[in-house]
Amino acid sequence: MSKDSVAIFGGRGMLGVDVATACAAAGHVVQAYDLPEFDITDPDQVREAVTACDVIVNCAAYTDVDGAESNVSEAHRVNATAVGCLGELAREYGKRVVHISTDFVFDGKLDRPYTEADEPAPINEYGKSKLAGERLLAESGCAHCVLRLEWTYGVHGASFVTKLIELAQVGNTLRVVDDQIGSPTATTVVAAAICELIEQKTEGVYHLANSGYVSRFGIAEFVVDRLGLDVDVEPCPSSSYETPARRPLNSRLDCGKIQALLTTPLEPWQGPLERFLRQIDEKHSGYRRCGIHRQQLR
C-alpha cells in the first residue's frame, strides 16, 4: 500500500514529536511544522503546508489552560479560527485532517464516562476554544477525524505527571485533588492510534485514552511509589485548590468507539505510566540530580 505524506502541525510539541516518530516508523513521509517558523494562524503558511501533503495531523494548540482565561482571543485564534481555516483549505485541496481535541469540551457533571454522543458544555475558555475549533472544522466540510484526548504525558513536554515530580523536588508534602477522575494517557499510545486512523482513513469524532480510571491523587500516589520519592501525598478537594480555570471533575472518556477500530486493546493506564517513569529516569537521572532520595524503580 502506498504511504501518505503527513504534515504534523505542532510537530515539536509533546504529542507532535511522538506522532512524527510513529508516522515515520510506519513508513509515511513526514514533515513537522511548528512555531516560530510556522504559525497555524497564518493562512498563507497553512495553504503551503496543506498543498504539500496528503494528511494533516493538527497537534498545534494554545494549551495553557489557565492562561486562556486571560488570553481568550489568542486561545480562540489558535484553537478555533485557525482550525476552521485549516479545514477550509483542506476541503479546497481535497486533503484529510486528523485534529486533536480534549475532554475539556465537557463540563464533567455526568455520572458516567462521556461518549462521543454526549453534548459538550465546556466550563473554561480553553475548552470553549477547543470546542469552537471542532465545530469550525466540521462546518468546513473537509474529510476529518477529531480525537479527544485527556491527561496526556510524554517525554517531549510538561504534563501533570512531570509537574508532580517537579513539585516533589521542592517540598515534603504533595497536596493533590482527589475529586478529578480520568485516565492518564501516554502520547506514544495516542501516536500509534493516529497512525492506524491515517491508514484506515477514519472520519468522525473519537475519544481516546488509556483504559481504567483514577483520580489525580491516585496518579500522584502511583508516581511517588514507583519512583520511591521521599514525599507524602495528601488528598484535597478541587474546591480548596483554586486555579484561574475550572477543571471538569469527571474526565472519564468512554473509548469503546475507537477501540472497535484499533488492532490492539487500549492498555490500562498503569503500564504505560510505569514505562514512562522508567524512561525519564534513565534519560535525565532527574531525581538523583536534584538530590531526591530515590529507591530502585519497582
Smallest gap from residue 232 Cβ to ligand NAP (A): 25
Residues in contact with ligand NAP, shown as a per-residue x/- string from 272 to 291 under the rule CB under 6 A: --------------------
Do 99 and 147 contact (CB within 8 A), yes or no? yes
Residues in contact with ligand NAP, shown as a per-residue x/- string from 9 to 28 under the rule CB under 6 A: -x-xxxxx------------
Question: Measured from the CB atom, is 34 or 125 closer to ligand NAP?
Answer: 34
Which residues, other chains included, contact 46 with Cβ-Cβ below 8 Å and sequence gap of 6+? 40, 82, 85, 86, 89
Q: For residues 83-102, which are near ligand NAP according to CB under 6 A?
A: 100, 102
User: Using CB under 6 A, which of the segments 6-14, 107-115, 198-206, 289-297 binds ligand NAP?
Assistant: 6-14
Question: Measured from the CB atom, is 154 or 226 closer to ligand NAP?
Answer: 154
Cα distances from 292 to residues 232, 233, 288, 289, in angstroms, run: 13, 15, 6, 8
Cα distance between residue 62 and residue 15, in whole Å:
13
Question: Measured from the CB atom, is 38 or 228 closer to ligand NAP?
Answer: 38
Cα distance between residue 39 and residue 229, in whole Å:
40
Do 209 and 254 contact (CB within 8 A), yes or no? no
DSSP letter for each residue of 271-296: HHHHHHHHHHHHHH-HHHHTT-----
The single residue among 31, 129, 140, 152 that binds ligand NAP, judged by CB under 6 A, is 152
Is residue 81 part of the contact set for ligand NAP (CB under 6 A)? no
Q: What are phi and psi of 290, to 5 degrees?
A: -90, 10
Is residue 40 part of the contact set for ligand NAP (CB under 6 A)? yes
62 catalytic? Reply is: no
Cα distance between residue 15 and residue 156, in whole Å:
7
- Interface with ligand NAP by CB under 6 A: which residues? 10, 12-16, 34-35, 38-41, 59-63, 78, 100, 102, 130, 149-152, 157, 159
The residues assigned a catalytic role are 126
